[in-house]
Structure 1
Amino acid sequence: MASTSVSRTVPASPEEVWNLIGGFHALPDWLPYIPESVSEQGGGARRLTNADGEVIVEQMTAYSRQERFYSYAILRAPFPVTGYLSTLRVHAVPGRPEEAEVQWDGRFVPDGVSDEEAEALFTGIYRDGLDALDATVRARPARPFHAP
Structure 2
Amino acid sequence: MSKAEASIQLRASADQVWQLIGGFDSLPDWLPAIPESHLSEGGRVRNLKTADGAVIVERLLQFSEAERRYSYSILQGPAPVRDYRATLSVSAEGSTTRVEWSGTFTPDGVSEAEAQQLFASIYRDGLAALKQTLGE
Q: Pick the aligned partner of 1:127 from 81, 100, 124.
A: 124
Q: Take 1:11 and 1:49, find their aligned partners in 2: how far apart are those partners?
A: 30
Higher Cα radius of gyration: 1
TM-score, L = length of structure 1:
0.90
Report the CA distance between 1:11 and its aligned residue: 1.8
Deviations 1:35-75 (A, max 9, x none): 00011111100000000000000000000000000000000
Contact kept in structure 2, 1:58 and 1:76, CA below 8 Å: yes
- Structure 2 match to 1:112: 109
Q: Take 2:79 and 2:22, find their aligned partners in 1: how far apart are those partners?
A: 24
Aligned length: 136
Q: 1:1-148 maps to which residues of 2 (within 5 A)?
A: 1-94=1-94, 96=95, 99-138=96-135
Deviations 1:4-33 (A, max 9, x none): 110001120000000000000000000000
Coordinate RMSD, CA, aligned: 0.8
Contact kept in structure 2, 1:58 and 1:72, CA below 8 Å: yes
Q: Output the amino acid matched with 2:61.
A: T
Bigger fraction of residues in strand: 2
Aligned residues: percent identity? 51
Q: Take 2:110 and 2:2, find their aligned partners in 1: how far apart are those partners?
A: 11
Partner of 1:138, secondary structure, is coil
Q: Take 2:56 and 2:115, find their aligned partners in 1: how far apart are those partners?
A: 17
The answer for unaligned runs of 5 or more in structure 2 is none
Report the CA distance between 1:138 and its aligned residue: 1.1
Contact kept in structure 2, 1:11 and 1:137, CA below 8 Å: no
Contact kept in structure 2, 1:46 and 1:59, CA below 8 Å: yes
